[in-house]
Amino acid sequence: MTISVVIPTIGNRNLFPTLLSLKNSSIKIDEIIISAPTQNKLDKNELQKIKNVRIHISKFRGQVIQRIEGFKITNCDIVVQLDDDIILEKYCLELLYEEIKNKSDTSISPNLIDSVSNRSIYLEKKGLKKYLFNKIMGFNSDEKRGKIGLGGFQYYPVLNFNSNILLDSEWLVGGCVMHHKKNLILSNYFSFNGKAYCEDLFHSIELKKRGVKLSLLSSATAFLKLTTKTPDIIPFFKELKSDYLIRKELVKQNGLNYNRMLIGYLFIIMNFFFKSK
């Protein structure tokens, strides 16, 4: 089977670390499609150092639609969606591929590690505040992992780092996901401008509607850099408003509970002010 990697970008990041991790992958990458609204911000000298790179100039500006345009022009059997800030461990894609090459109804994601703390984003968070939040969102203690709650908020899957068994989930973080080409969503399911809040939830729901199983593999790893600094109050509320407007639509489309969602945002606001003190 042939493998394609699709990377949407607006050109505000240095792509070379991501591309270099693809170049050093233990499995052959047949093509890398970079979908960007303009070529002016792409470093041509850096791109020339990587083989099989195709530049697609998108008519649109937005992570989801740019990715979909990249999906549409690939002819490979296996397609990886990859954010422009993800660094892949050498064997990451090979491990993912070996798991799904004979599972045509499955999409799969690796364990994502914060490159600063070297901790998985899937480490379970505990405490009274988290417990209360989970209860309000409708997460039962025995089935909360990898779920989308009644209020439209997600609970991260909790991986068993000592096991190579696939973990099923209701949703996958969109930073790195491997698909069979026949399962790609080619219609624009995300009609919002700006930062793609909740995009991975919308995408996961669409995949599940088509009968695609969503899985994670803890032995496959990739790296990203999380933002840990508490933002100033104005940027915080601007981002929260954008997140709210998009999540409200997610809740509406999927028959979830709007009031639970509002309480979830109240928790987030309270947590922001407690952290700021």
**42-74 pLDDT per residue, tens:** 777 778 788 899 999 998 899 999 999 999 999
CATH fold of 3-122+158-224: Spore Coat Polysaccharide Biosynthesis Protein SpsA; Chain A (3.90.550)
Task: Give span(s): CATH 3.90.550.10, the chain.
Answer: 3-122+158-224
pLDDT, tens only, 26-38: 999 999 999 998 8
Q: What is the pLDDT of residue 165?
A: 77
Residue 166: pLDDT band by 50, 70, 90 thresholds?
Answer: confident
One DSSP character per residue, 225-277 reads: ----SPPPHHHHHHHHHHHHHHHHHHHHHTT--HHHHHHHHHHHHHHHHHHH-
Q: What is the pLDDT of residue 180?
A: 98
Mean pLDDT of the chain: 91
Closest to 109 in 3D by CA, of 217, 225, 182: 217
Residue 170: pLDDT band by 50, 70, 90 thresholds?
Answer: very high
Q: What is the mean pLDDT of residues 8-32?
A: 93
Q: What is the pLDDT of residue 256?
A: 95
Rg (CA), the chain: 19
Q: What is the mean pLDDT of residues 2-25?
A: 93
pLDDT, tens only, 76-125: 999 999 999 999 999 999 999 999 999 999 999 999 999 999 999 988 77
What element of type H or E holds 199?
helix 199-209
Query: Token digits for 212?
Result: 């695609």
Rounded to an integer, what distance in angstroms lies between the CA atom of residue 152 and that of residue 245? 12
Residue 143: pLDDT band by 50, 70, 90 thresholds?
Answer: low
| % of the chain exceeding 90 in pLDDT | 70
Of 67-71, 140-144, 157-161, 197-201, least confident by mean pLDDT is: 140-144
Q: In the predicted model, is pLDDT for residue 211 greater than 90?
A: yes
| Coil, helix or strand at residue 23 | helix
Q: In the predicted model, is pLDDT for residue 234 greater than 90?
A: yes
